Structure 1
């Protein structure tokens, strides 16, 4: 195994772990913010606008990290 494969494997595993952790963290936050009727409760109007915006960006980033992690691990396997 050369240096390129090691870097790809390390990047792939880290990207997968961080991406999955981000998606689980955001999903947990959304789950616990819901009330008995299924609506999300916010403190004020500003947080009701900003919180979903940032959570959607983080969820997108987590999905991209998972995708890049899978691609990096596939390239590391292909380069062996």
Structure 2
């Protein structure tokens, strides 16, 4: 596996992980709601701790998504540069007579 392909894989993994983490946190929050629409917790401490952890989890997820997008963008730039180099080598070769 060359460097360009590994760049793509390293971009997809954090992107999918970040999206999955946001989905999982949002799903937990949705299923904690009761019929009135308020979140139900067993205690005040559980409420504070859970919200704090979920907030940090969402920030981590957003960071993973941004990192994934940047790595995929750098993959496309590397691929374009590689294509330009191939095209340059083709045009520099002498024409056979």
State if a TM-score over 0.5 links the two structures: yes
Greater Rg by CA: 2
Q: TM-score normalized by structure 1?
A: 0.92
- Unaligned 5+ segments in structure 1 are none
**Following superposition of structure 1 onto structure 2, how do residues 1-80 of structure 1 map, counting pairs within 5 Å?**
3-80=2-79
Taking only aligned residues, the RMSD between alpha carbons, in angstroms, comes to 1.2
Structure with the greater relative contact order (CA < 8 A, sep ≥ 6): 1 or 2? 1
**Stretches of 4+ moved more than 3 A in 1?**
none
Instruction: Measure the CA separation in 2 of the matches of 1:52 and 1:4.
Output: 40
Deviation at 1:6, TM superposition (A): 2.2
Aligned length: 79
Q: TM-score normalized by structure 2?
A: 0.77
Give the secondary-structure state (helix, strand or coil) at the position aligned to 1:50.
helix
Deviation at 1:37, TM superposition (A): 1.4
- Unaligned 5+ segments in structure 2 are 80-97
